[in-house]
Chains A and B, each alone.
Chain A
Amino acid sequence: MIPRKYKERAIEGVFLSFASISLVVLLFIMLFLFREGLPIFRVIGPLEFLFGKSWYPTYEPPEFGILPLIMGSLFITVGAIVVAIPLGLASAIYLAEIAHPRIREWVKPAIELLAGVPSVIYGFFGLLVLAPFIQDLFNLPTGLTALTASLLLGIMATPTVISISEDALNSVPGSYREASLALGATRWQTTIRVVVPAALSGISTACILGMARAIEETMAVLMVAGGATLIPTSFLQPVRPLTATIIAEMGEAIHGSPHFHALFAIGVVLFFITLGLNLLADFLTHRFKETGSGTL
């Protein structure tokens, strides 16, 4: 017989090694990203790279300023948030607090299914429906603009926001609602003053994750953002965000060339943006937790 404490330790060891494997893989991805990306700084300084106003990687001499790409990403991400957060939050409140349980039973899985639709499908929708609509509406030379990409990303991020916010609202104990209603509050007052604040940490996580979804999205924005590497001044201009740049140019970049390293360096920038958003989500979760709010 093997003593119980050794069995326990063996099980712990197995789980620890599995957890370590995923961590190690992640570490290697990071190392690889940095190894391929950092050499660009032998050609161009980090500040010049980040804030350079032109991205002409194939010109002679090439220019590797990614500010237009950062601005492109920023424009469509902000646009997407403006669409996704109000829409997602309102839908989540409807589903969690107002909708008949039978409606929720149908709609919630449908929305979760929507979150799983491949982004290239959304891209098709954007290309065939949204872009011509925007073009006609504003009488533009092209329908592939930051606005189109924002709307499309907003639609894509909405299911994420709905799903996580709805979970957060649902995890608010029913006893809070009872207490509020027994004090003579209406259902609306109860929702706005008790339930939503109690779910705030989950809702903020939902918003950050929705935002991350928008920043990370590659395929759909490549299809509808227009691809111009100019610093945008309006939502009606075509833009080229960071992700779309990598995927559009990786095929043509010569392995080991400055262009190649520059694309990996864009990956490094995206890595830090995502890391920053995750830290922010974490910070918000803990900040609201201190006051005892409901969490996911």
Chain B
Amino acid sequence: MVKEDLKIIVEDLDFFYGGLKALDGVNIQIPERKVTALIGPSGCGKSTFLRVLNRMNDLIPGTRLEGKVLIDGHDIYADNIDVVELRKKIGMVFQKSNPFPKSIFDNVAYGLRIHGSKDRVILAEIVEESLKRAALWDEVKDDLKRSAMELSGGQQQRLCIARALATGPEILLMDEPASALDPISTAKIEELIREFKEHYTIVIVTHNMQQAARVSDYTALFYLGKLIEFNVTEEVFTRPSEKQTEDYITGRFG
């Protein structure tokens, strides 16, 4: 089905919160430099799956994982994997924008600084570059010392995107990045996603099926922890091979 270069390969993935099985036998191959949308009703495991990819679930006590998650051919749950290095390679944008209560500049520079960059000129360059990529530069360039908390919701989310881009990731994970935004801000974020796929492998969780149809190349439908269908987006929306997919996208459940 997929003929692209593969960035992420997941094999027989089970994921447990304590005794609760949240993901059940997931097999998926996510292509490089494409947008892959994860859709499905609330509680279907799509956000859990997203967080498996940068090991954010490690932070929740009592979670357990079985199966393999390969990124660039390396098992990211192997013992010799440095989680810090892994997360450097994988940017994440959250559902609710979460800039730090610091200046705009310090927000974007944060990732670089924790990884040891001190050179002011380089920092300033990368901050500018990242803000430009996130289409925020023109709105904030006059006062980068301003607190990020003073920005509007849409601007804050683009700031968080700039912050994620600054460390030079190869993969961008987005957990319903536009669900709390107005239609204009949403349109801006979607446009960014379309531009980004030249450079990044993007995995986006969304509740909004129109959004999935608009921005993604591939779509995966999750239901009750299982991957029901994974295919080229157009196929999934026009000729779903599974009955459950058809029911979901036509609004019969979810």
Q: What are 7 A-B contacts with C-beta separation under 8 Å?
A: A178-B98, A179-B99, A183-B87, A183-B88, A183-B114, A185-B84, A290-B147
Q: Which residues of B contact A292 (CB under 8 A)?
A: 101, 147-150
B 34-68 contacts with A by CB, 8 A: 54, 56, 59, 61
Give bound CA distance, A175 to B103, whole Å: 17
Q: What 1/0 mask marks residues of chain A from 176 to 201 whose CB sits below 8 Å from any chain B CB?
A: 10111111111001000110011000
Q: How far does the Cβ of B148 sit from chain A's closest Cβ, in whole Å? A: 7
A86 within 8 A of B: no
Chain A residues closer than 8 Å to B94, beta-carbon distance: 175, 178-179, 182
- Interface core residue of B84, B87, B98, B99 (most chain A CB under 10 Å): B98
A193 and B87 in contact (CB under 8 A), knowing A181-B59, A291-B101? Answer: no
Residue A126 at the B interface, CB < 8 A?
A: no
Is B226 part of the contact surface with A, judged by Cβ < 8 Å? no
User: Which of the residues B84, B100, B115, B167 comes within 8 Å of A179, measured between beta carbons?
Assistant: B100
Residues 52 to 96 of chain B near chain A (Cβ within 8 Å) = 54, 56, 59, 61, 84-88, 90-92, 94, 96
Measured between beta carbons, the chain B residues less than 8 angstroms from A197 are 101-102
What are the residues of chain A within 8 A of B102 when measuring CB–CB?
197, 291
Cross-chain contact B100 with A180 (CB below 8 angstroms): yes
**Consensus secondary structure, chain A interface:** helix
Chain A residues with Cβ below 8 Å from B25 are none
Interchain CA distance A194-B111 in the complex, whole Å: 12
Which residues of A are in contact with B by a Cβ distance under 8 Å?
101, 173, 175-176, 178-186, 189, 193-194, 197-198, 290-294
Residues 153-179 of chain B, each 1 if its beta carbon lies under 8 Å from chain A, else 0: 000000010011001000000000000
- On whether the beta carbons of B98 and A176 are closer than 8 Å, the reply is yes
Please, which residue of chain A has its CB at the minimum distance from the CB of B98?
A175
- Across the interface, which residues of A come within 8 angstroms of B230, CB to CB? none
Determine the residue in chain A with the shortest Cβ distance to B82.
A184
A193-B54 in contact (CB<8A): no
Residues of A within 8 A of B163 (CB): 179, 183
Would you call B110 an interface residue if the criterion is a C-beta within 8 Å of the partner chain's C-beta atoms?
yes
Given A178-B98, A179-B98, A291-B102, A184-B114 contact (CB < 8 Å):
yes
- A291 near B110 with CB under 8 A, answer no
A183 near B111 with CB under 8 A, answer: yes
**Besides the contacts A292-B101, A293-B101, what 18 more A-B pairs have beta carbons closer than 8 Å?**
A176-B101, A178-B59, A179-B99, A179-B160, A182-B54, A182-B92, A182-B94, A182-B164, A183-B87, A183-B88, A183-B163, A184-B84, A184-B86, A194-B110, A291-B147, A291-B149, A292-B147, A292-B150
Cα(A293)–Cα(B103), bound, Å: 11
Min CB distance, A79 to chain B, in Å? 33
Chain A nearest Cβ from B254, distance in angstroms: 26
In the bound assembly, the distance between CA atoms of A101 and B62 in angstroms comes to 13
> Is B149's CB under 8 angstroms from A193's CB?
no
Report the bound CA distance from A179 to B84 in whole Å: 13
Complex Cα–Cα for A47 and B148 (A): 49
Contact with A along B110-132 (1 / 0, CB 8 A): 11011100000000000000000
- Residues from chain A with a CB closer than 8 A to the CB of B98 are 173, 175-176, 178-179
Cβ of B91: which chain A residues have Cβ within 8 Å of it? 182-183
Give the chain A neighbours of B92 by CB distance below 8 A: 179, 182
Q: A175-B96, A193-B110, A292-B147 are in contact. Are A183 and B167 (CB under 8 A)?
A: yes
**Please, which residues of chain A bring their CB within 8 A of the CB of B54?**
182
